[in-house]
Amino acid sequence: MDVAKINATLAFFRVGDALGLTPRELRVLLSLVELGDVPAQQLARYVNVTSGAMTGLADRLHTLGFVDRERGEDRRVVYLSLTKLGLKRLVKAYKEVNRG
């Protein structure tokens, strides 16, 4: 049993709970931290969801103010990016979870 992995998994779920996000929504935010601005289709492949599911995830995260959407030069491509609010709330939630 790897205690460090278990603790990391528990922390992940506590952060999601603190933000009111599902694990999949939190995975999208963390992927945006890692990847930066990215086409929605590429992010969908990265987090292993369909493009339709990514649209729903992006809609919810955009409504919460965590994600911005912007069309590329090719209007068929939508880029997703983490907002300042999204990063701020993510950092705050991780700090709170790690405190106690």
- Grouping H, G, I as helix, E, B as strand and the rest as coil, residue 79 is strand
pLDDT over threshold 90, residue 53 = yes
What is the CATH classification number for the domain harbouring 65?
Answer: 1.10.10.10
Identify the pLDDT of residue 8: 81
Tell me the residue range of the domain where 60 lies. Answer: 3-99
Per-residue pLDDT tens digits for 63-74: 999 999 999 888
Confidence of residue 100 (pLDDT cuts 50, 70, 90): low
Rg of the Cα atoms in the chain: 14
Confidence of residue 79 (pLDDT cuts 50, 70, 90): very high
User: Whole-model pTM above 0.85?
Assistant: yes
Nearest to 59 by CA among 87, 36, 80: 80
Q: Total structural domains in the chain? A: 1
Identify the pLDDT of residue 41: 96
